[in-house]
Amino acid sequence: MEDIEKVIGKVKFSLFSPDMVRKISGARVIIPDTYDDDGYPIDGGLVDSRLGVVDPGLRCKTCGGRVKECPGHFGHIELVRPVIHVEFSKYIYSVLKSSCPECKRVVEGSGRKAKGECPNCGAKIPDIKFLKPATFFKDNVQMLSTDIRDWLAGVPNDDLRKLGYDPDFARPEWAILSVLLVPPVNIRPSITLESGERSEDDLTHKLVDIIRINQKLEANINAGAPQLIIEDLWELLQYHVTTYMNNETANIPPARHRSGRALKTLAQRLKGKEGRFRYNLLGKRVNFSARTVISPDPRLRIDEVGVPPAIAEELTIPMEVTDWNVEECKKYVRTKEYPKALYILRPDGKKLKITDEMREQMAEELKIGWAIERQLQNGDIVLFNRQPSLHRISMMAHEVKVIPGRTFRLNPAVTAPYNADYDGDEMNLHVLQTQEAQAEARYLMKVEDQIISPRHGHAIIKPQEDHVSASYFFTKDGTEFTKEEASRLLLIAGIKELPKPNKKGMYEGKRLFSLLLPKGMNIKVRSKLGEEVVIKDGELLKGAVESRALEGEMLEQIFVKLGSQAAKEFLDNVTNMCLEALSWNGMSVSMKNYSLSANADKKVKDIEDKANREIENLIMQYKNGKLERSPGLTLKETLEGNIMMVASKAREDVGKVVESDLGMENTSIIMAKIGARGSLLNAIQMSAMLGQQAVRSKRLMRGYKGRTLPFY
């Protein structure tokens, strides 16, 4: 039979009417049990073969298909008394409030709630109250589900349209359930335990409860039981249907397993992090991928990713056997050491696992046109990704570098596009399986092509933290190296010729740094320290290189004029050379960095006392009515604004004292000023004054009364 293809034009969600439920049902379920003593599904039970099959060897009695062919079919339970679908309670409430109980017409102009008399029939409009999750009161008398259904069923279609309903697809009385859909067996399969006993799905357990209470209610009605007993059983049926729909309904105790575990019913299957939508539909699981924690490694090139051996030995990359590489492929098949081939792929689609005993024989049988799957090795192209993937450069192509350890290694310069840090972040690695995918990654996604951000047009892959500090110390006046030290530094940067030494026979940091700059580069920029950095024809003549000069001028100019490859090499060479030099001397930060002299401490105390006196004076003026009101502000707002001004000025004055006292020999101040890490404000707050804390440029106006100090 020829397949008929159709394009879906639209999807419309609607409620099932009782008749529609019966039409789509494959069987009426009447027995609160599953399998007979021989292990076969009971007819009319909850795993009736007409609802689909989950056991191999059985055929579905509705479509005739076996386990893999049958999609499953719905069944239904006829409820003896109608119950309210808890998820539609608020819609039921809306219609009851807006309509007349006598003529069932919607009261015109009533908005969301009708009051007084009905203009259509003159009947009194009752006061309708709704108690969550599914109890309704009419003039303080509880309404039965049958009464509510009859009321809603009488509302004309035209009136429902005024309330926003489409009566062809969703009449409100359909939210009062008289027939309950039973889901197919294959979405609630039984599992067989080691003991041989069957364990049923949570939905099946809940449906068993519903059928039992339904049967008990029917028996009591037929036996003429007192109304009180019938209403209790009816309420219990409502409870079981409610918890079947949503076992986390407010004001309702959750249905539990015998072990005490709350059952996962329909709503719990759908919502939340592990529900159908987020976990199954939006969550992806793919082959040829790995995930682990990331760690920094500044010695890696920016386009490399350090891969643990455990991952490199497990993941494979296919190699097609050709005239050109047949011997290389055979070598991968023969060897028992890493990197080796793990599988052979034949043209007929068969995948053969290579065992150590069969390696030699399989290598001889290897033919052109076949393919092998070999272990990941240095130089392979892979995709590296950190979630959430918010922009294009959350996923980039890196080359593999197999390094001992258990974590992925990443150059700190590449963390910004991934928005990654090293406090436990995990990242994903994807091994590309086709030549086309690998080519696309190499030419479209490689790291060096993403140095300039597509968002703001400035460098996003750039020197970070210690890179900037190292560059500053390397190029500041007075930094000199011996011949041996200079040789080692230049070899790290890939330069094999030494420049001429100075008169003392030493090699200046500026001179060595200049060897990494391209000829023709001319830069004159004022650094964050306020001094000029001057580069003329690729020679650093003046100033110490900090973040503004390094990333904002040099790196971007090289990228624009010489291309991404030159920018990558410059970034790798500068950071490696400068970090090596920094590692010889070290750069430490300790509590001593934030200790002020006695004189500075006194100045800070004086500024603080002065600010307190000014603020107290402002408050007194406010209380005495002598405070001059600012234009457009109330007296209270004027007071608050003046207090903030005094507090801000105090912090500014303290900042000047701290900056002067700590000085430019303090590593914390250096890092803040050159743009490596932190700010001057951090140093001020740690060494002298936290300052007035503000929310939206105002002092905290509420939420601080009756709280103990730990709250702050």
pLDDT in tens, 389-428: 999 999 999 999 999 999 999 999 999 999 999 999 999 9
User: Residue 165 contacts by C-beta under 8 Å, 6 or more apart in sequence?
Assistant: 171, 172
Assign residue 111 a region (left: φ > 0; alpha: ψ between -120 and 50; beta: otherwise): left
Range of the domain at 645: 592-711
- Tell me the C-alpha distance between 575 and 412, whole Å: 10
Residue 676 burial by Cβ neighbours in a 10 Å radius (0-12, 13-18, 19+): buried
- Last residue of one domain, picked from the residues 585, 604, 636: 585
- Tell me the C-alpha distance between 610 and 652, whole Å: 13
In a domain, 411, yes or no: no
Whether pLDDT at 703 is above 80: no
111 plus 164 within the same structural domain: yes
243 plus 214 within the same structural domain: yes
What is the arithmetic mean of pLDDT over 552-568? 91
- Last residue of one domain, picked from the residues 585, 619, 639: 585
- Tell me the C-alpha distance between 266 and 256, whole Å: 14
In a domain, 514, yes or no: yes
Nearest to residue 281, comparing CAs of 297, 269, 263, 265? 269
Residue type, 584: W
Q: For residues 691, 696, 702 and 708, what is the CA-based torsion angle, rounded to 10 degrees?
A: -40
- Tell me the C-alpha distance between 513 and 577, whole Å: 9
566 plus 613 within the same structural domain: no
Assigned token pair, 335: 């060897």
Whether pLDDT at 657 is above 70: yes
Whether pLDDT at 684 is above 90: no
- Tell me the C-alpha distance between 632 and 434, whole Å: 68
472 plus 507 within the same structural domain: yes
493 plus 535 within the same structural domain: yes
Question: Which band of pLDDT confidence, cut at 50, 70 and 90, is reported for residue 489?
Answer: very high
Domains held by the chain: number: 4
Assigned token pair, 382: 């892979």
Between 214-223, 423-432, 464-473, the lowest mean confidence (pLDDT) is in 464-473
Question: Which band of pLDDT confidence, cut at 50, 70 and 90, is reported for residue 711?
Answer: low
Residue 551's pLDDT is 81
pLDDT digits (tens, 9 = 90+) for 117-143: 888 888 888 888 999 888 999 988 999
525 plus 561 within the same structural domain: yes
- Tell me the C-alpha distance between 676 and 470, whole Å: 9
In a domain, 22, yes or no: no
528 plus 573 within the same structural domain: yes
pLDDT digits (tens, 9 = 90+) for 238-251: 999 999 999 999 98
pLDDT digits (tens, 9 = 90+) for 139-194: 889 999 999 999 999 999 999 999 999 999 999 999 999 999 999 999 999 887 77
Residue type, 493: A
- Tell me the C-alpha distance between 23 and 30, whole Å: 17
What is the arithmetic mean of pLDDT over 557-571? 93
- Tell me the C-alpha distance between 438 and 98, whole Å: 64
In a domain, 397, yes or no: no
User: Residue 483 contacts by C-beta under 8 Å, 6 or more apart in sequence?
Assistant: 498, 501, 505, 507
Write down the mean pLDDT value for the chain.
90
482 plus 579 within the same structural domain: yes
- Tell me the C-alpha distance between 370 and 326, whole Å: 10
Residue 109's pLDDT is 58
- Tell me the C-alpha distance between 334 and 329, whole Å: 9
pLDDT digits (tens, 9 = 90+) for 282-333: 887 899 999 999 999 999 999 999 999 999 999 999 999 999 999 999 999 9
What is the arithmetic mean of pLDDT over 105-109? 78
Query: Is this prediction's pTM over 0.75?
Result: no
Q: What percent of the chain has pLDDT above 70?
A: 98
Which residue shows structure tokens 């009319």? Answer: 44
- Tell me the C-alpha distance between 350 and 334, whole Å: 20
Residue 113's pLDDT is 57
* CATH at residue 679: 1.10.132.30
Whether pLDDT at 707 is above 60: yes
Helix, strand or coil, per DSSP, at residue 598: helix
In a domain, 210, yes or no: yes
Q: Are strands 289-296 and 408-410 parallel, antiparallel or unpaired?
A: parallel
In a domain, 343, yes or no: no
654 plus 547 within the same structural domain: no
Question: Which band of pLDDT confidence, cut at 50, 70 and 90, is reported for residue 552?
Answer: confident
Residue 56 burial by Cβ neighbours in a 10 Å radius (0-12, 13-18, 19+): exposed
In a domain, 61, yes or no: no
- Tell me the C-alpha distance between 441 and 44, whole Å: 57
- Last residue of one domain, picked from the residues 263, 282, 301: 282
Cα 406 to chain centroid, rounded: 23
Question: Which band of pLDDT confidence, cut at 50, 70 and 90, is reported for residue 712?
Answer: low
Assigned token pair, 102: 């006598």
Residue 493 burial by Cβ neighbours in a 10 Å radius (0-12, 13-18, 19+): buried
In a domain, 484, yes or no: yes
Assigned token pair, 66: 């076996």
Residue 1's pLDDT is 47
Do the beta carbons of residue 375 and residue 315 sit within 8 Å?
yes
* CATH at residue 551: 1.10.274.100
609 plus 566 within the same structural domain: no
685 plus 604 within the same structural domain: yes
597 plus 699 within the same structural domain: yes
pLDDT digits (tens, 9 = 90+) for 243-292: 999 999 998 999 998 888 999 999 999 998 889 998 988 887 899 999 99
